[in-house]
Structure 1
Amino acid sequence: MTDTPDITPAPDEAGPERAAVSRRRLLGAVGAGAAVAGAALGAGGAVLAHHDSGSSGADAAGSGPQTVAFRGVHQAGIATPSQDRLCFATFDVGPGATAADLRELLKTWTAAAEAMTLGNPVPGNPGDLYTPPEDTGEAAGLQPGNLTITIGYGPTLFDRRFGLAGRRPSGLVKLPHLPKDNLDPANSDGDLCVQACADDPQVAFHAVRNLRRLAFGTLVPRWMELGFGRTSSTTPQQATPRNLMGFKDGTRNIDGTDAALMGAHVWIGDEEPQRWARGGSYLVSRKIRMLMEQWDRDRLGDQQDVFGRFKSTGAPLTGKAEFDTPDFHAKSGGQYVIPADAHIRLAAHENNNGLRILRRGYSYTDGIDPETGDLMGGLFFIAFMKSPQQFITLQTALGQHDALNEYIQHIGSGLFAVPPGLAAGQDWGTQLFG
């Protein structure tokens, strides 16, 4: 869309024993992330500098190592310059799985994720003809594609099953019903989420596929979405992309390299009682279907009024260039030039007491509705923030007043606590369980 929130009216199986054997083979590679990194360098890979809120390792030119540092103060895949492709999946912990199983799996996932972001296969015992390969192999020979793997935890993980109730981040509760919600449980929620972003769709899918394979016997897949065509820019160096409605999307998004803005709006700080979650963020996902046939029959003038921007240039209706500051007071003939129900007006931080979120959305398609022949696709909205209340406040306003509501439906939703980055030698299991 055109603003911080989104086009959305939102501020936009294998048995456990065999699975355990495979996971144990990885444990030696996890204890020290440096061992994995060292092996990668020896094989011609490259590890970029320490990842934090003000820097990312993505190679903007598309050449060179094409790797993003896995370890750092914050997880990669948040402030990182947005890659072109997404594979997002959620999981539930399976019946009978224990806290020890989950902790071991998260340790295994750490080693596998770090290896894959370096462009290496999942660590294991290659060449053993009597067991399944440790890596599924479809990314062999491909560049790492600036792959980032970001993990998050849903509210349900902190129930009484695994002894984590006392470690639940303070803002991690199921999102309330919001205006215009028409949510499908099959596209919502989950105990854990994985966001894999890369410049190659096969690399992103490979990452989620292998984490899912390693989780046999512990996690059960809940839902997955493939995204193409990023709909936001997280650094000024990236051109603003267009969404499937043809409008530039995310012109006024937070700059991921701006440490002050990220600290004020995105990173969980000292206000959080759970120390282990500080430096992390909250991830909100929303699957938003666009009613494209309706939109495609609407006149250009109305489309521009819905967004509050010119379709050709992305400029606000009160300006000439994309990055001109909108003038929300300008009138013509007694009417606001940017209509009162325009998306850009309702989503603007100037009109929401300075409230902002960091967007990392993607377009998606689910094919064609067999009953109507309509295209089934739209926006897979992802946003990061230091408190879920930021999204709730924006979405409440947009859901009630946004002219865009005539052309979209919110059909999926999720909220996850994204932990901070990992230090050398640390793994996700130890970080979560303490």
Structure 2
Amino acid sequence: MSDSRSSAGDAHSTSPAEAHPGTAPEAGADSASGVSRRQLFGFLGAGAAGAVVGAAAGAGVAVAATSGGAGAASPAASVYPFFGAHQAGIVTPAQDRLHFAAFDVDDTLDRDGLMALLTEWTDAAARLSQGLEVAEGGAVGGSDYAPPVDTGEALGLPASGLTITFGFGPGLFADASGADRFGLAARRPAMLEPLPRFQGDALVPEISGGDLCIQACADDPQVAVHAIRNLSRIAFGRASLRWSQLGFGRTSSTSTTQATPRNLFGFKDGTANVKAEETATVDDQIWVHASDEPAWLAGGSYLVARRIRMIIENWDRVQLGEQEMLVGRSKGEGAPLSGGTEFTEPDFEKTGATDAPLIDTNAHVRLAHPTTNGGARMLRRGYNFVDGNDSLGRLDAGLFFLSFQRSPQQFIDVQTSLARDGLNEYLKHVGSAIFAVPGGVAEGEFVGQALFA
């Protein structure tokens, strides 16, 4: 084969881990940057996998292939396993880029066809996440008289920490008319219901909902887009793209190795996010247990996706002091207004010279805090987005919010508390979806196989 993706077989400062967020902190001996996909597969096939990087709480292992020489692994060289106890792309250290896609299943598809689609998606995702083409033959290795099996825009690119995560929406279990298209209605999780309407929602149906979803995260946008493009192509005639979202600049850290990023309001975002290294919290708050019912979802999670438009132009005219009051943290350090540094726990009882709370009663940090919401926490993997401008010349920009939680009620409780958030004046929720994310996939199985057992 002549292409580089074909296979012959199946902030705080400057540590390498923080400089390269796709790599977990224990990265040691052999790692590399810019290794091609052909080189990567060759090394893996020969058993010279390079450095094995441990990631906590089922985040999997990142394998950094090497073509000689030691050094810190680059995000481009990071490879996360597709198979494991949990799906990748949840507690995996959050990558810098996202392509998220929601699909509607075709009316003509039957149960066997759905299982076949999930099998093909699984096989393709397992290859793509390892830096290979979607199938053997790839973009240039097949017949001149047939379309290539891979679209080819990722030829020569490394794996770039690609993770692919699948989810099932409520419509997969019963369509809008209540029809049980695939014999799955009795196995629908009781909590997998469309989210209730929240104050301030201005939802657009065309960018909400979906029967299936795929989250592709990577440190190279072209790698993430390539994954969604090829998985969409595989689904042709069986499932069609309902809506999708590109994201850049993660807005949360999912590992203690990562510095806290900033959102488009300029504030550090996700300081108190659940981290992969908090293994007890991850198990308690993120993963579905077999005792939660249904048992087929054990090891999985619930994914909430919200497209939140930020009214950037209005926010940019707000005084700094008011911005900080609305958030409840300083804009520079990210410290709570009650004092300390970024990771100091907020003191909601502390008052100032006028005996008013230093953290306003309607501040975002107070209303979203676990102490306000019965201890509920979520693992957030949101991204910034800018999708051009609207007809008034304003930026169509904001936060593509993604959160994983053991129960949708955790999100509902927090979002309900945020009804009186002062930030709501500058936010508009225009897209919403919820999905059940099956547990991890074992080799030889397809994603969600337990649902069909």
TM-score range, shorter chain: 0.7 to 0.9
Change (3 A) 1:162 1:355: same
Paired residues of 1:89 and 1:223 also in contact (CA < 8 A) = yes
- Amino acid aligned to 2:89: G
Change (3 A) 1:40 1:191: farther
- Amino acid aligned to 1:121: E
The residue correspondences of 1:419-430 to structure 2 (distance < 5 A) are: 419-428=438-447, 430=449
The residue correspondences of 1:110-149 to structure 2 (distance < 5 A) are: 110-125=122-137, 126-149=141-164
Change (3 A) 1:246 1:44: farther
Give the drift of 1:325: 1.1
Tell me: higher relative CO, structure 1 or 2? Use CA pairs within 8 A at least 6 residues apart. 1
The residue correspondences of 1:335-350 to structure 2 (distance < 5 A) are: 335-350=356-371
Change (3 A) 1:265 1:52: same
1:258 and 1:242 mapped to 2: Cα distance?
22
Give the drift of 1:173: 1.0
Paired residues of 1:52 and 1:74 also in contact (CA < 8 A) = no
Q: Give the structure 1 partner of residue 212 of structure 2.
A: 192
Paired residues of 1:51 and 1:73 also in contact (CA < 8 A) = no
Give the drift of 1:429: 5.8
Work out whether 1:357 is the aligned partner of 2:361. Answer: no
Work out whether 1:108 is the aligned partner of 2:120. Answer: yes
Aligned residues: 398
Work out whether 1:205 is the aligned partner of 2:208. Answer: no
Q: Give the structure 2 partner of residue 25 of structure 1.
A: none
**Matching residue within 299, 319, 339 for 1:299:** 319
- Which region of structure 1 is more displaced relative to structure 2, 325-334 or 236-245? 325-334
Paired residues of 1:51 and 1:70 also in contact (CA < 8 A) = no
Q: Helix, strand or coil: the match of 2:290?
A: coil
Give the drift of 1:127: 2.0
Provide the alpha-carbon RMSD of the alignment. 2.1
Paired residues of 2:373 and 2:417 also in contact (CA < 8 A) = no
2:142 and 2:122 mapped to 1: Cα distance?
23
Query: Where in structure 1 are there 5+ consecutive unaligned residues?
Result: 1-27, 30-36
Paired residues of 2:333 and 2:342 also in contact (CA < 8 A) = yes
**Matching residue within 313, 317, 328 for 1:308:** 328
Q: Give the structure 2 partner of residue 381 of structure 1.
A: 401
Q: Helix, strand or coil: the match of 1:248?
A: coil
The residue correspondences of 1:236-385 to structure 2 (distance < 5 A) are: 236-332=256-352, 333-370=354-391, 372-385=392-405
- Amino acid aligned to 2:160: G
Q: Helix, strand or coil: the match of 2:256?
A: coil
Q: Give the structure 2 partner of residue 57 of structure 1.
A: 61
- Amino acid aligned to 1:155: P
Paired residues of 2:382 and 2:399 also in contact (CA < 8 A) = yes
Q: Helix, strand or coil: the match of 1:276?
A: helix
**Matching residue within 231, 245, 253 for 1:233:** 253
Q: Give the structure 2 partner of residue 404 of structure 1.
A: 423
Question: Over residues 131-188 of structure 1, what are the superposed CA-to-partner deviations in whole Å (9 max), with x where a residue is unaligned?
Answer: 1111111111111011000000000100100111122122111111112111000110
1:247 and 1:93 mapped to 2: Cα distance?
39
Paired residues of 1:50 and 1:69 also in contact (CA < 8 A) = no
Change (3 A) 1:191 1:64: closer
- Amino acid aligned to 2:357: Y
Q: Helix, strand or coil: the match of 2:430?
A: strand
Question: Over residues 191-211 of structure 1, what are the superposed CA-to-partner deviations in whole Å (9 max), with x where a residue is unaligned?
Answer: 000000000000000000000
- Amino acid aligned to 2:425: E
Change (3 A) 1:188 1:218: same
Work out whether 1:418 is the aligned partner of 2:448. Answer: no
2:135 and 2:41 mapped to 1: Cα distance?
13
Change (3 A) 1:81 1:74: same
Q: Give the structure 1 partner of residue 16 of structure 2.
A: none
Paired residues of 1:54 and 1:257 also in contact (CA < 8 A) = no
Q: Give the structure 2 partner of residue 169 of structure 1.
A: 189
Work out whether 1:181 is the aligned partner of 2:201. Answer: yes
Paired residues of 1:50 and 1:71 also in contact (CA < 8 A) = no
1:64 and 1:429 mapped to 2: Cα distance?
29
Q: Helix, strand or coil: the match of 2:200?
A: coil
2:173 and 2:434 mapped to 1: Cα distance?
13
Query: Where in structure 2 are there 5+ consecutive unaligned residues?
Result: 1-8, 11-39, 65-71, 175-179
1:334 and 1:249 mapped to 2: Cα distance?
28
